[in-house]
Amino acid sequence: MKKFYYLLLSMLISFSTFGQEVSTLIKGTVIDNDNKEPVIGASVIIEGTTTGSITNYNGEFSIRTSKEGPQTIVVSFVGYTTIEQEVVLKGGEANLGELTLTSDAIGLAEVEVIASVAIDRKTPVAVSTIAPEAIENKLGTKEFPEILKSTPGVYATKQGGGFGDSRINLRGFSSANIAVMINGVPVNDMENGTVYWSNWAGLSDVTRSMQVQRGLGASKVAVPSVGGTINILTKTTDAQKGGNVYYGIGNDGREKMALTLSTGKMDNGYAVTFSGSRTTGQGFVDATSFEGYSYFLNVSKEINKNHMLSFTAFGAPQTHGQRNGYNMGIEDYQRYGGIRYNSDWGYLDGQEYNLFTNSYHKPQISLNHYWTINDRSNLSTSVYVSVGQGGGTGFLGTSKDTDAYRRSDGLIDFEKIRDENIALAEQGLGSETILRSSNNNHTWVGALSVYDNKITDYLTFMGGLDLRYYKGEHYRQVEDLLGGEYFLSNVDVNNPGQKAVVGDKVGYNNDGEVYWLGTFGQLEYSKDNLSAFVSAAVSNTTYYRLDYFQYTDGNQLSDAYDFLGYSAKAGVNYNITENHNVFANTGYISRAPFFRSVFPNHTNNGNKNAENEKIISFELGYGYRSARFNANVNVYHTQWKDRSFTKTVNQDFTANLLGVNATHQGVELDARYNVTPKLTLTGMLSIGDWRWDNDLTNVPVFDQNNQVVDEVNIYIADLKVGNSAQTTAALGLNYELMKGLKLGADYNFFGQNYADFDPTRRDNPEDRSEAWRMKDFSVVDVNVRYNFKLGKLSTTVYGNVDNIFNETYITDAQDGADHTAATATRIYYGLGRTWSMGMKLNF
């Protein structure tokens, strides 16, 4: 009995002691050092434990703990230098006050001004931001644009599957109608608006953050985006000395090596960061081997407290095999071996020989000057130059990619072509078919200057200039005579009967020149819970064309063709409470037609009747923010009027198809829920309704004497716009299984994807059928990341498996005659299961 009393007494003493255990509530607020705004979602943790919290909308956090004595509070957030705060816990409340996070990069705040970065709950646009950690974790074997595939309104594919051959559509608009900017500098081709992602294959190594502004966007420069703006910010210069090395491998012989070095800010005010990488592999698709390099250099100099200079140079030279598959249908894939099949290659002398090979190098160099004029005004200026060189190969002459020159295994019989050319050479004749390269070199220089002035505590003016000059050189040249002695060319009026050999220009030889002068202005109002803006931009585009083959000396330069474009935008955001906000924006754009619409027949006889395209857009949105749950929902309506279309009739005359209109509208939802500090769920749903609005009938075709010689009709009213999935959805999971080990999974669904088609070819009033609708599909990607110490080095191991269930699905297609799968051509399947893994050592 005594033992029982002793045991009972011991238990009572233990419970009493437990009940008296010291409990401390740790509180504080985390703010950004540059803009003094609260940092939302920062991690706050007691060092050596898993006890922690995440900051709420006001940057506030609270942690309750039973620990006593001296402790270290660690505050961290992506893009900021981690800070440690010492505190002595002794019960009650410990208020740490304001804890300030400083950017881990020099000059980032200044770059964000030029780049027009949207601010959450202030800038009234639909926006999604992707942090560098997410890019590192999820890139795997995906192309750079595919990182955005879980973003509302985005449809990104690899197209033919070659290295860098991916494309992206936003709200149904192609990249020609999406403003893509790197550090605020526009990179869309000045002649046709296209973005060639193979030119930027190394961006994933140096991207600090990527922001997708859907719709009109927050861009202050004179960039007439229709679908939205993709804002990419590269690294500037790391604030701390150090670096890292990376090595990775993947499916189909993929191998990547990378190095980053940074001096940090030195005593003399300079700071230097360099990154470089090399990536090689055979490619998932047959005969698409690749070799790519990337380099990045930033040198920053803090002259004094008012002036800073930043020099940046980066580029990504690469060579890769391609799959164009002009007439490939489902039957061809089934006949010749499945989704890896490539119809555009064969063997020559026992070696792999690809008909289509792309090589390009487009370095971009910029010098930025940031001037703090006084405590209310700043001037940020960027002067840049980009010089691109390269192109792609293909046949010239009599096409040999027909059944007569295709082997039983589906490959091109290059040796048969060569043998026939050798036989012609023995007769003193030139090669019938050769391999040519189509080169598109260019020189692009520009300057962008933004002045901002805080007129009052609540009203800010921003304005500036956007100047550009672009010269594109377009020509074909002989790459391989395929066994022959020469290639007979009669297209150069200055050299008739040319017997061209390797290196000679053939086919065409012309330049395009574009002069751009833009100015813009914006007023911003921000007070308490209300922020609003109104902006306007005006630009003048001048086109010239020089043709060295079709015209004699002295007559090779076209007249100047000038187009005045302008835009006006306005928006307002209201924070109802600390959790709820609403926004609205609207705008009108009158955009100059592209170069190909001004010179549609590949001659210097320009289209004097080319019209500006007009875009009208409005959007409404709602947002919810808390420490654990964020959500956004928005609806949009964009009407695209006078889309620039031309149609050639009888090979001699061109019709301007004015009045072709389309409407893109839809609803978008995205959400993020921090279930626990270790588990995060994400979700997205995007439902679009993108249609052509009207038919065109009895459109006159004029000859050079302005006489009507024909009429054309197109019948597209109410047809779905093709080439992009109109319904997309995504679910994501990120879980920290144990300290340093994080697992991630993403499910993506794509539906209502109609084959691409040329509206000008819909000239049959009896044919009102939709383009072929591809089968809906979904894919699941998984990733793992493990951080640990390897000696004294902080080390990270990455692993990715994309399309883990090896789903077979079609991503791209060209509509056929009867709008069914049987007649659809240029079909591209998505890649099957792919994997990659790598290790990064930080020092």
For 776-829, how does the pLDDT look when each residue is reduced to its tens digit (9 = 90+)? 999 999 999 999 999 989 999 999 999 999 999 999 999 999 999 999 999 999
Residue % of the chain over a pLDDT of 90: 67
- The H-or-E segment that residue 804 falls in is none
The pLDDT, as a whole number, for residue 25 is 87
Cα–Cα separations (whole angstroms), residue 234 to 41, 229, 230, 726:
22, 16, 13, 31
- Measured CA distances, 119 to 57, 128, 611 (Å): 13, 11, 35
As given in the structure block, the two tokens for residue 512 are: 């395009």
pLDDT category of residue 401 using cuts at 50, 70 and 90: low
Sign for the pseudo-dihedral over CA of 272, 232, 624, 674: negative
CA distance 538 to 268: 42
> What is the per-residue pLDDT for 20?
46
First to last CA, the chain: 65
Q: Tell me the two tokens of residue 404.
A: 């007569």
Q: Alpha-carbon distance 809 to 554, whole Å? A: 54
* Nearest to 313, CA basis, from 272, 259, 252, 370: 272
Question: What local confidence, expressed as pLDDT, does residue 219 receive?
Answer: 67
pLDDT at position 444 over 80: yes
The pLDDT value given to residue 705: 63
At residue 3 the predicted structure's pLDDT band, cuts being 50, 70 and 90, is very low
Nearest residue to 828 (alpha-carbon basis) of 111, 346, 324, 447: 324
The DSSP secondary structure of 17-85, one letter per residue, reads: HHHT---EEEEEEEEETTT--B-TT-EEEETTSS-EEE--TTSEEEEEE---EEEEEEEE-TTB--EEE
User: Does pLDDT of 237 surpass 90?
Assistant: no
Task: Say if residue 369's pLDDT is above 60.
Answer: yes
DSSP states of 237-259: EESSSEEEEEEEEEGGGEEEEEE
State percent of the chain over pLDDT 70: 93
Residue 339 has pLDDT above 70, yes or no: yes
pLDDT at 688 over 80: yes
CB-CB neighbours of 397 under 10 Å: 21
pLDDT confidence of residue 19 = 43
Which pLDDT score, from 0 to 100, does residue 15 have? Answer: 39
276-305 confidence digits (pLDDT tens) = 999 999 999 999 999 999 999 999 998 998
Q: Cα-Cα-Cα-Cα dihedral of 591, 594, 599, 604, to 10°?
A: 90
Cα–Cα distance, 657 to 643 (Å, whole number): 8
C-alpha 182 chain-centroid distance: 10
DSSP category for residue 417? H
Residue 596: closest CA among 472, 720, 492: 472
C-alpha triplet 446, 451, 456: angle, nearest 5°: 165
What confidence score (pLDDT) does residue 248 get?
Answer: 96
What does the DSSP assignment read for 386-409?
EEEEEEEEEEEES---SGGGB-TT
List beta partners, residue 676. Answer: 679
| Chain mean pLDDT for the chain | 90
Predicted pLDDT of residue 799: 97
Selection from 217, 248, 246, 247 nearest residue 230 by Cα: 217
Which pLDDT does position 704 carry in this prediction?
Answer: 62
User: Tokens representing 450?
Assistant: 């933004």
Burial 259-297 (b: 16+ CB within 10 A, else e): ebbbbebeeeeebbbbbbbebebbbbbbbbbbebbbbbb
**Averaged pLDDT, 413-426:** 95
Mean pLDDT, rounded, for 534-557: 96
pLDDT in tens, 87-118: 888 888 888 888 888 777 666 677 777 777 88
114: amino acid identity, one letter: I
Structure tokens at 692: 């052509």
| Interval 370-396: pLDDT, tens | 999 999 999 999 999 999 999 999 999
DSSP state of 200: G
Q: Is residue 400 over pLDDT 70? A: no
- Which helix (H) or strand (E) segment is 171 a member of? none
* DSSP codes, 479-509: EE-TT-S-EEE---TTSTTEEE-TT-EEEEE
Q: Is-contact 451 377, C-beta < 8 A?
A: yes
Q: Do 47 and 26 contact (CB within 8 A), yes or no?
A: no
Q: Given this model, what pLDDT does residue 368 score?
A: 94
CA distance 798 to 244: 14
Average pLDDT for 614-637? 95
What whole-number distance in Å separates Cα of residue 608 and Cα of residue 741? 63
Nearest to 647 by CA among 610, 600, 687: 600
User: Residue 287's closest CA among 240, 242, 245, 325?
Assistant: 325
Our CA angle for 364, 193, 605, nearest 5°, is 115
Instruction: Please give the single-letter amino acid code of residue 413.
Output: D
Structure tokens at 833: 């299961």
The first and second tokens of residue 371, run together, are 């001037």
687's enclosing H/E stretch is strand 679-692
pLDDT digits (tens, 9 = 90+) for 213-230: 999 877 666 566 789 999
Q: What is the largest CA-CA distance in the chain?
A: 122
pLDDT tens-digit map of 146-177: 999 999 999 999 999 999 999 999 999 999 89
Residue that has been written with the tokens 């890769």 in this structure: 320
How many CA atoms does the CB half-sphere of 589 hold within 13 Å? 24
CB 839 within 8 A of CB 246: yes
Structure tokens given for 819: 């709008």
Assess whether pLDDT exceeds 70 at residue 573.
yes
Contact 234, 182 (CB under 8 A): yes
Sign of CA pseudo-dihedral 594, 392, 231, 514: negative
